[in-house]
Structure 1
Amino acid sequence: MPIWTRLLNWLRSLFWSRKLEISIVGLQNAGKTTFVSALATSEFDDDTIPTIGFNHRKVKKGGVELQIWDLGGQPKFRDSWEKYCRNVDCIVFVVDSADFGNFDIAKAQLQKLLMWPSLVGIPLLVIGNKNDLEGALNEEEIISTLTLMSVIGRPVACYSVSSKDMNNLDMVLRYFAKLPKRKTC
């Protein structure tokens, strides 16, 4: 990146930076941590290890600073999702778009998460990760399979991405940049 572009981006970040807090949830092996790493570094890390509990990371891209809670997806951690999703600006639910055997479980976990009264109104972004794999569901198929059209009381968006190929990660960052800052009491 040329020095003038970096300087301009730095100056923009001083005056127009938006700070957002997001929580990333989903079943184990959906690629949540790899997704966060790809957002942060624009590189694929093949050596990602499963998240035990949670990871916290700050990511600055363009005019957006993200405080990210990356939560473990194993069954023993799912009941703690609600605690880390309270008062965030967006809940990101990641699914492995090529793992058809887990879509029913993912749908049930998403519905359970959205039933928490403390999470009413928080925008939901569903990420269909691993769209580089053969047979991966596209956005429309993910929306249909997870019945996202029936989610009410909050903004909902869905993107099909590849954290490996960096496919559509720019669209996700643009989505975050347009999110309204959540009002807290």
Structure 2
Amino acid sequence: MLAMINRVLDWIRSLFWKEEMELTLVGLQNSGKTTFVNVIESGQFTEDMIPTVGFNMRKITKGNVTIKLWDIGGQPRFRSMWERYCRGVNAIIFMVDAADKDKLEASRNELSQLLDKPQLDSIPVLVLANKKDLPGALDERQLIEQMNLSAIQNREICCYSISCKEKDNIGSFCIQICAQLESYTTSTRTVYIKTFESFISALLL
């Protein structure tokens, strides 16, 4: 009887409790940003994606948790937009093609310039090293060194290796985001961690 009452109470709470988080996804073109969003949203991987022109916004809902995700184009003409869409978000995700060593310097410079913006101070950053399934892809340690991430001192930052194609470590990415949100104040942190825990549980079902 008590279990049934608890289930009813949980259902009633679910009608009124809904959380939304906002993330911005940036990085050079062809790093796999839109593919990542598609995998998170539907679990589907598409080999040939059309490059994002400008930006796309997706709302991904799992249970009572909605993630508002801004996917910003990575071509040079769109990079000036990055700062605008990173302001005020809960976390910034910077995507890197770990198998394209020719673009690493550009990625490093763009990330450095972005994080120098005063309006983005203290926003947590997660660097995702995508395409770990490809031969010669840098691992996390190598990417941290190449991107000079250890020199970033004014915010929480983490590097994580994933493969959108193989759907490898996508669930763990969510757990890392949750850990990054621990940099918030206690009251805000409690809400956001509970939100992401609910999102993770639904995502991994």
Structure-2 separation of matches of 1:63 and 1:135: 40
Q: Does 1:74 align with 2:75?
A: yes
The match for 2:29 is 28
User: Residues 18 and 177 of structure 1 are in contact (CA less than 8 Å); yes or no, is this contact kept in structure 2?
Assistant: no
Greater shift after overlay, 81-90 or 171-180?
Answer: 171-180
Aligned to 2:91: 90
Q: CA RMSD in A?
A: 2.4
Structure 2 counterpart of 1:80, one-letter code: M
User: Against the structure 1 CA distance between its residues 173 and 16, is the aligned structure 2 distance closer, same or farther, given a 3 Å change threshold?
Assistant: farther
Q: Distance in 2 between matches of 1:23 and 1:118?
A: 14
Q: CA deviation at 1:105?
A: 0.5
Unaligned runs of 5+ in 2: 1-6, 189-205
CA distance in structure 2 between the partners assigned to 1:87 and 1:71 by the alignment: 15
Structure number having the greater helix percentage? 2
Distance change (3 Å), C-alpha of 1:157 and 1:64: farther
* Equivalent residue runs for 1:44-55 within 5 Å: 44-55=45-56
**Alignment partners' CA distance in 2, 1:129 and 1:64:** 25
Q: Contact (CA 8 Å) 2:97, 2:130: kept in 1 or not? A: yes
| TM-score normalised per structure 1 | 0.86
Q: CA deviation at 1:177?
A: 3.8
Structure ID, larger Rg:
2
1:110 is paired with a residue whose SS is helix
| Higher relative contact order structure (alpha carbons within 8 Å, sequence separation ≥ 6) | 1
Match of 1:150 in 2: 151
Question: Secondary structure at the residue paired with 2:158?
Answer: strand
Q: Does the aligned pair in 2 maintain the 1:30–1:95 contact within 8 Å?
A: yes
